[in-house]
Amino acid sequence: MAKKAASYRMGIDLGGTKILAAVIGPDGAILGMAKKKTRDELGPDGVIKRMVDTANEAAAAAKISLKALAGVGVGAPSAVDFKTGVVYSASNLAGWDEVPLGARLQAALDLPVLVDNDVNLGTLGEFHLGAGRGCRHMVGIFVGTGVGGGIIVDGKLYRGARDAAGEIGHMIMQPDGPLCGCGRRGCLEAFASRTAIERVVRAQLAEGRPSILPELLAAEKDRMTSGVIKQALEAQDPLMVEAIGSAQYYLGLLVANLINALDPEMIVFGGGVVEALGGDFLAPIRETALPYLLQQRNADKIKIVPATLGDQAGVLGGAALLAPFTARKA
Ligand SMILES: [Zn+2]
């Protein structure tokens, strides 16, 4: 790994729908960015080619040669072996299993490449350059289609013994509970993700309860987007108010468990649902969590805050993998 002090580096965020690449300066500033659709139907070969193209476009946008970069940090939406850069079973990328993404990109770009799980990198980005700046112990919770998490202990991303730590979306809240995307029952994700909120609301609609939702969904080709959830909540739609309240309750229990286990200074909430609903979404989560904290002393000082970097958290976290940032003139 190149250890150029004060170096430029690139972050690439590989998502199920889009690839984002950015050139990041030594202080964490984004100097150039490019975006492409993932087109996962092309399979790993086609998608890796698109990642290389996106990387070249980001370098061109930053007016910098790829050769000037210290390396590339890549986030993938799947389990990743951080030491080898191999991507395992990316459930939202067709045909991706045991793909040596790190080695393939390293060969194509002729640069050192590190690969990690995308949510780990989102957490790392928020820790270094977003909501978590200045703290040592932090947990990132990302609520979207699923619920993902990342854990920072003593200033470092905690990966665990098999690079598998941080899967807080699959903490068991109720052993015989609703079916989760992972095939098990009663995981937090089955109670608190956008998918779970949609399932609860649609079951109620099927029972014929009055709601503004059919009207909102019709305008979005029947897709339960974060925008639809926000509008229904703003209109005080009773089905959505109940479903969100339930999600917040389970997220509150999760937060209490995490605080009791890890004693972080801060919990940062990001992801599509949180971005759409804003900081107000977090107050009931905090209210649920606080009484469950074993250590009540200074419990009110634990910060539970929204993420600030949006969809740039992943590329910034990727850049943070390669070298520490220099202090920023803020
Ligand atoms: Zn699960």
Q: If you average pLDDT over each of 3-7, 89-93, 136-140, which comes out highest?
A: 136-140
pLDDT, residue 129, reads: 96
Mean pLDDT calculated for residue range 133-141: 97
Measured in Å, residue 190 CA sits from the centre of ligand 1 at 7
DSSP state of 33: E
Identity of residue 236? Q
pLDDT, residue 146, reads: 92
Query: Tokens 């150029």 map to which residue?
Result: 4
Measured in Å, residue 117 CA sits from the centre of ligand 1 at 17
12 has a pLDDT exceeding 70? yes
Which helix (DSSP H) or strand (DSSP E) does residue 319 occupy?
Answer: helix 313-322
Give the Cα separation of 223 and 60 in Å (integer). 36
Measured in Å, residue 67 CA sits from the centre of ligand 1 at 42
Give the Cα separation of 301 and 51 in Å (integer). 42
pLDDT, residue 6, reads: 56
Residues less than 5 Å from ion ligand 1, measured at CB: 170, 180, 182, 184, 187
pLDDT, residue 2, reads: 44
Measured in Å, residue 177 CA sits from the centre of ligand 1 at 11
Give the Cα separation of 64 and 113 in Å (integer). 18
Measured in Å, residue 227 CA sits from the centre of ligand 1 at 25
DSSP string, 285-311: HHHHHGGG-S--TTGGG-EEEE-SSGG
Measured in Å, residue 178 CA sits from the centre of ligand 1 at 10
Are the beta carbons of 217 and 224 closer than 8 angstroms? yes
Measured in Å, residue 195 CA sits from the centre of ligand 1 at 12
pLDDT, residue 1, reads: 47
pLDDT in tens, 58-107: 999 999 999 999 999 999 999 999 999 999 987 778 889 899 999 999 99
Closest CA relative to residue 159, chosen from 268, 258, 82: 82
The mean pLDDT value of the chain amounts to 94
Measured in Å, residue 184 CA sits from the centre of ligand 1 at 5
- In three-state secondary structure terms, 93 is coil
Measured in Å, residue 193 CA sits from the centre of ligand 1 at 11
Strand partners, 88: 79
Helical pair 43-61 and 101-109, crossing angle rounded to 10 deg = 50
Are the beta carbons of 140 and 123 closer than 8 angstroms? yes
Measured in Å, residue 274 CA sits from the centre of ligand 1 at 20
Identity of residue 214? P
Measured in Å, residue 208 CA sits from the centre of ligand 1 at 29
Closest CA relative to residue 22, chosen from 6, 38, 34: 34
The percent of residues above 70 in pLDDT, for the chain, comes to 97
DSSP state of 185: B
Give the Cα separation of 72 and 239 in Å (integer). 45
Other C-beta atoms closer than 10 Å to the C-beta of 44 total: 20
* Domain 135-308: CATH class, spelled out: alpha beta
327 has a pLDDT exceeding 90? no
- In three-state secondary structure terms, 318 is helix
Give the Cα separation of 8 and 71 in Å (integer). 8
Mean pLDDT calculated for residue range 285-300: 96
Q: Tell me the CATH architecture of domain 8-126+312-322.
A: 2-Layer Sandwich (3.30)
Give the Cα separation of 220 and 228 in Å (integer). 8
Mean pLDDT calculated for residue range 20-45: 96
Measured in Å, residue 170 CA sits from the centre of ligand 1 at 4
pLDDT in tens, 93-107: 888 989 999 999 999
Mean pLDDT calculated for residue range 183-200: 96
Between CA 320 and CA 325, with CA 321 as vertex, the angle to 5 degrees is 30
Are the beta carbons of 292 and 253 closer than 8 angstroms? yes
Q: Is the dihedral of CA 7, 13, 14, 20 positive or negative?
A: negative
Give the Cα separation of 139 and 124 in Å (integer). 10
114 has a pLDDT exceeding 70? yes
Measured in Å, residue 179 CA sits from the centre of ligand 1 at 8
Measured in Å, residue 327 CA sits from the centre of ligand 1 at 39
pLDDT, residue 94, reads: 83
Pairing label, strands 79-81, 69-76: unpaired
54 has a pLDDT exceeding 90? yes
Measured in Å, residue 37 CA sits from the centre of ligand 1 at 27
Pairing label, strands 30-37, 303-306: unpaired
Other C-beta atoms closer than 10 Å to the C-beta of 2 total: 12
pLDDT, residue 244, reads: 97
Residues of the chain with CATH 3.30.420.40: 8-126+312-322, 135-308
pLDDT, residue 323, reads: 81
Measured in Å, residue 144 CA sits from the centre of ligand 1 at 14
Give the Cα separation of 69 and 260 in Å (integer). 41
What is the chain's alpha carbon radius of gyration, rounded to the nearest angstrom? Answer: 20
Query: Tokens 């998608």 map to which residue?
Result: 47
Measured in Å, residue 90 CA sits from the centre of ligand 1 at 15
Measured in Å, residue 265 CA sits from the centre of ligand 1 at 27
Measured in Å, residue 130 CA sits from the centre of ligand 1 at 28
5 has a pLDDT exceeding 70? no
Mean pLDDT calculated for residue range 318-323: 92
Measured in Å, residue 209 CA sits from the centre of ligand 1 at 29
Measured in Å, residue 149 CA sits from the centre of ligand 1 at 13
